[in-house]
Amino acid sequence: MKWDLSNIYTSFESAEFQKDLSELELGLAEFMEWVEENFSNDESTESKIAYFLERLNVLSLLASKLQAYASLTLSADTNNALAAQYLDIIRKKMVNLSLLRVKLRRYLSAVDLDWELSTIQNVREHAFFLKEQKLLSKYLLSDAEEKVLSLMRLTGSNAWNNLYHKITSNLLCEIEVDGEIMKLPLMRVRNMAHEPSRQLREKAYFAELSACEGIADTVAQCLNSIKGEFLTEVSLRGYENPLQPMLMENRITSETFNAMMEAVKESIPKLRNYLKLKASILGYEDGLPWYELLAPVGSFEKRWTFDEARKYIVERLAEFSAELGVFVDGAFEKRWIDAETRPGKRGGAFCTSIKALNESRILMSFDGTLENVLTLAHELGHAFHNYCLRNETFLNSTTPATLAETASIFNEMLLIDRIKEEVVEPRQKISVLEKELSDAVQVIVDIYSRYLFESEVFERRRRGPIGTADLREIMIRAQKEAYGDGLNEKFLHPYAWVVKSHYYYPTFHFYNFPYTFGLLFALGVYAQKDEPGFFEKYKRLLASTGKGTAEEVAKNLGMDITKKEFWKSSLRVIEEKINEFEVLSRSV
């Protein structure tokens, strides 16, 4: 299935697209003029703020619609020069949206009002947004510096990010399949990690490493440039370190972050037991080779066609909630999903909100495995989260990465628990359970290695550019510390930094720990799913993710995420599944 973008815009040349592009430019210019005139004094502050919020919501909605169309078109075909051209044009215009927030922060820095007590409803409804903007005002640069930073980013980190995606999405790996030498897209080869054939998994691993080696120097330049730029910004703004702004971006306190990371470090030795058990099942004595991390265990070799996957996901989610089932079926019916595997298509999987239409679009490469079915359910969870935010304004819909995984992981859990109930043969049971544990270990242990890697990269980048060989060494060292004796140290992945796109986001760094947070937070939410009235509470929680800190949102379900015990309770769920896996492993 290919997605349908025609109800966003029919083409870049269409009258509607060109009209909206002109309207955005004119609207931003007029609004900027209004701000210059009205933010120069503190008269009628609440009325000014109310108007500012209204206009910023409208213009942000319009800009996000334009950007979504260009970005989605380019993701589906990274060789589309027109899409790349318009994405650049739109991003340049959106610089003024960033500057408008800067001007709001500067204005709020001198204002001391309780927005929750405002007499104007629009202001009260955006109290959290306003408080957050005032907090960020402490790290402002001058207006001129902010403008220069935003403009330079377009030809700096944004350009390096575009280059990274162009290189990796067009990368072909040479591999022998059934006696024939083939050149396949990187994502196709990476998906072979789930193949039943050990020989094919191993070949895919070495083919991936070989292909990555060929682009590693260029990708290293992308990484150095993006991380170097961010370190410069961190220093200019006066943050203590690169992690501090990311904790603020994710709306969690250092207390919550430290509680989670301490719980993870304490649990990792127990999680490694799963890797040792898997190595034993597959016949390895010196730990699991990297290429066997995602290897199937047991006999669950079922393949789904895309239509079969649709039917299965819809039916199983509808068993939990008819509303959820209807929504998910609608996503297929309206062709929100691009599931084809083809050259030039961006790798990975994502879900994008088109809030102006209250719709979403999902990109992935579907090849029929259980992994693919769960990924599809995962991305549909993101779409359902966007649906729950449909009545919120644009500014009240900005969900931090820490909370953005809640509905997606919840969907996965619903599906995999149902699958485990349906299978009765031990080899099938262990196969599904192993898939669940494999995902959990990736999100906790592998993510921990990525956090260690990025932390050291930032530390080393302060002193100068990091060479390709050093990046390989840093990655291997991080993997050894995280995986320990669970993996065979002779077969790690020195180029994991090449294939993980999250390292290359221009304005979002440490895009690793939010995944751990998301899984463990979702486990806490999932533990309450059978309680009376849960689904309505769940929808309210999802609708609130743009209007509070992670700690405040968690309190909606009575969870205190500042305490290590909350995180340990979620980790214990995984540890208990490892114990179950050990018992089942004796029967295969």
* pLDDT value at residue 42: 82
For 571-582, what is the mean pLDDT?
96
What one-character-per-residue DSSP string does 182-211 give? EEEEHHHHHHGGG-S-HHHHHHHHHHHHHH
Percent of the chain whose predicted confidence (pLDDT) is above 90: 88
Residue 352 in 3-state DSSP?
Answer: strand
Place 218 in a pLDDT band, splitting at 50, 70 and 90: very high
Give the type of residue at 242. P
- Nearby residues of 64 by Cβ (< 8 Å), 6 or more positions away: 353, 354, 355, 356, 394
Give yes or no for residue 194 having a pLDDT over 90: no
Place 435 in a pLDDT band, splitting at 50, 70 and 90: confident
Residue 67 CB neighbour total at 10 angstroms: 19
Place 85 in a pLDDT band, splitting at 50, 70 and 90: very high
* pLDDT value at residue 418: 93
Place 299 in a pLDDT band, splitting at 50, 70 and 90: confident
Are the beta carbons of 453 and 478 closer than 8 angstroms?
yes
What b/e readout covers 298-316, taking b as 16+ CB neighbours within 10 angstroms?
Answer: bbbeeebebeebbebbbeb
| Rounded CA separation 10/17 (Å) | 8
Place 88 in a pLDDT band, splitting at 50, 70 and 90: very high
Q: How far is CA 17 from CA 25, 30, 68, 76, 94, in A?
A: 12, 20, 12, 19, 16
| Rounded CA separation 495/518 (Å) | 25
Give yes or no for residue 163 having a pLDDT over 80: yes
Helix axes of 534-543 and 406-422: crossing angle, nearest 10 degrees: 150
529-567 pLDDT, tens digit per residue, is 999 999 999 999 999 999 999 999 999 899 999 999 999
pTM: 0.87
For 342-350, what is the mean pLDDT?
89
Give yes or no for residue 301 having a pLDDT over 80: no
For 450-465, what is the mean pLDDT?
98
DSSP 8-state assignment for residue 288: B
Angle at 205 between CA 204 and CA 211, to 5 degrees: 85
- Tokens 């919120």 belong to 392
* pLDDT value at residue 175: 97
More confident residue, 586 or 393: 393
Most confident option among 53-57, 372-376, 417-421: 53-57
225-277 pLDDT, tens digit per residue, is 999 999 999 999 999 999 999 999 999 999 999 999 999 999 999 999 999 99
* pLDDT value at residue 425: 87
Order of strands, sheet of 359-363, starting from the edge strand that comes earlier in the sequence = 337-338, 359-363, 350-354
User: Can you state the percent helix, strand and coil of the chain, rounding each to 5?
Assistant: 70, 5, 25
Sheet strands (E) in 369-527: none
CATH number of 165-300+422-585: 1.10.1370.20
Place 500 in a pLDDT band, splitting at 50, 70 and 90: very high
* pLDDT value at residue 206: 98
CA 31 to chain centre: 32
Annotated domain spans of the chain: 15-146, 165-300+422-585
Are the beta carbons of 319 and 535 closer than 8 angstroms?
no
- Residues in a beta bridge with 362: 337, 351
DSSP 8-state assignment for residue 11: -
Give yes or no for residue 113 having a pLDDT over 90: no
| Rounded CA separation 85/93 (Å) | 13
Q: Is 143 left (phi over 0), alpha (psi -120 to 50) or beta?
A: alpha
Are the beta carbons of 208 and 487 closer than 8 angstroms?
no
- Nearby residues of 439 by Cβ (< 8 Å), 6 or more positions away: 374, 412
Q: Is 194 left (phi over 0), alpha (psi -120 to 50) or beta?
A: alpha
Nearest to 351 by CA among 341, 340, 342, 338: 338
* pLDDT value at residue 296: 87
Give yes or no for residue 588 having a pLDDT over 80: no
**Token pair for residue 461?**
């980048």
Give yes or no for residue 33 having a pLDDT over 80: yes
Nearest to 510 by CA among 184, 170, 288, 230: 230
For 105-119, what is the mean pLDDT?
92
Give yes or no for residue 364 having a pLDDT over 90: yes
What one-character-per-residue DSSP string does 207-234 give? HHHHHHHHHHHHHHHHHHHHHHHHHHHH
Angle at 578 between CA 582 and CA 286, to 5 degrees: 65
Are the beta carbons of 201 and 195 closer than 8 angstroms?
yes
- Residues in a beta bridge with 350: 363
Nearest to 406 by CA among 510, 296, 561: 561
| Rounded CA separation 56/168 (Å) | 35
Among the listed ranges 14-18, 220-224, 424-428, 575-579, which one has the minimum average pLDDT value?
Answer: 424-428
